[in-house]
């Protein structure tokens, strides 16, 4: 009986070896975003599609911190305990948390406005130790100049999250652009997305319009801001086109977040193929085909503003009569 049992165990062991590696030996990728909104969701979708295109076979753990830094820390520690091969942080707060916790695992950031200011890297020329990724820096000065030309903005509103490094960095660019254009800037801070409606109501009657940079708490509750400003007939300029596809923002200009995800996915695949993160420069989307321009003619009419035909010809999205048209 003992001999039979021993023979059975030998056969089972051989069968396991023939079946290939155990599941827990597979490549593991942890993807975490700070919150859920259209831009960050598009990043995540692009990452997954790029990994599929590159033939990466991996167990993927997708996490959402829901704007809570305690949850972000828990996610980072989970990735560490699970021994992921690559950790991906979508947006500055979660990327910084991952980089602080996972010091011996490649960390790839996505949609980080100022990776140097966030101390993820010390230069844009290459990664820093185990960290590299792609930036979603937007041409703020060009945006504000365009807003002034089209909407005659003299007093500009700006709402940002005081605890987000990317928003603090963006504020400096907004201030500089307003000085260059002779525009008075009125700012309002929030702590979480639940503060946004009150912040919008407190600022709307003091400004000609509002400019939005890539602030995660703002975009997580964007419909509430749109409602306040549309009711007051004040124009909105969004630095993220993804969030404006459902209407309400008179102008939206920025790079394509899905394509940002594709670029990030390629970085992840390169690392899994053996490239050192410290050798990979911070990636930017610089090609015209990687950016979008949207005009919402319904919002413009509501504000009593006419968009010149020349600008409309440049747009690849027009929102009119409640419908989005892709050109």
The residues of the chain scoring below 70 in pLDDT are 1-25
Residue ranges covered by each domain of the chain: 26-137+257-287, 140-254+289-326
- At residue 75, the pLDDT reads 98
- Contact (Cβ atoms closer than 8 angstroms) between residue 111 and residue 41: no
Q: Looking at domain 140-254+289-326, which CATH architecture does it have? A: 3-Layer(aba) Sandwich (3.40)
Handedness of CA 163, 88, 262, 247 (dihedral sign): negative
Residues 210/52, Cβ–Cβ less than 8 Å = no
Architecture in CATH of 26-137+257-287: 3-Layer(aba) Sandwich (3.40)
> Could you identify the residue written with the tokens 């709307």?
204
Residue 37: predicted pLDDT = 86
- pLDDT value at residue 4: 40
Question: How far is residue 35's CA from residue 111's CA, in Å, rounded to a whole number?
Answer: 12
Per-residue pLDDT reduced to its tens digit, 101-136: 999 999 999 999 899 999 999 999 999 999 999 998
pLDDT by residue (tens digit) across 275-302? Answer: 999 999 999 987 777 889 999 999 999 9
């Amino acid at each position: 009986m003992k001999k039979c049992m021993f023979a059975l165990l030998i056969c089972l062991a051989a069968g396991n070896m023939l079946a290939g590696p155990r599941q827990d030996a597979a490549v593991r990728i942890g993807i975490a975003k700070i919150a859920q909104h259209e831009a960050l969701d598009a990043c995540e979708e692009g990452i997954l599609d790029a990994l599929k295109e590159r033939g990466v076979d991996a167990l993927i753990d997708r996490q959402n911190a829901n704007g809570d830094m305690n949850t972000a820390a828990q996610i980072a520690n989970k990735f560490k305990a699970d021994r992921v091969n690559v950790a991906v942080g979508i947006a500055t707060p979660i990327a910084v948390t991952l980089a602080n916790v996972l010091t011996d695992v490649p960390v790839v950031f996505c949609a980080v406005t100022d990776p140097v200011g966030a101390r993820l890297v010390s230069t844009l020329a290459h990664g820093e130790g185990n960290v590299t990724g792609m930036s979603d820096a937007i041409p703020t000065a060009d945006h504000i100049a365009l807003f002034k030309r089209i909407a005659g903005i003299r007093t500009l509103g700006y709402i940002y999250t005081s605890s987000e490094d990317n928003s603090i960095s963006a504020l400096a660019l907004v201030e500089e652009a307003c000085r260059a254009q002779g525009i008075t800037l009125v700012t309002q801070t929030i702590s979480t997305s639940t503060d946004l409606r009150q912040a919008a109501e407190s600022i709307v009657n003091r400004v000609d319009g509002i400019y939005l940079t890539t602030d995660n708490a703002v975009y997580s509750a964007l419909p509430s801001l749109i409602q306040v400003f549309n009711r007051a007939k004040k124009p909105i300029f969004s630095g993220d086109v993804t969030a404006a596809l459902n209407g309400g923002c008179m102008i939206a200009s920025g790079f394509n977040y899905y394509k940002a995800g594709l670029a990030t996915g390629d970085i992840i695949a390169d690392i899994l193929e053996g490239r050192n993160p410290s050798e990979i420069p911070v990636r930017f989307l610089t090609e015209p085909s990687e950016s979008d321009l949207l005009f919402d003619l319904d919002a413009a009419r509501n504000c009593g503003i006419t968009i010149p035909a020349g600008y409309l010809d440049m747009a690849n999205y027009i929102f009119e009569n409640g419908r989005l048209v892709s050109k």
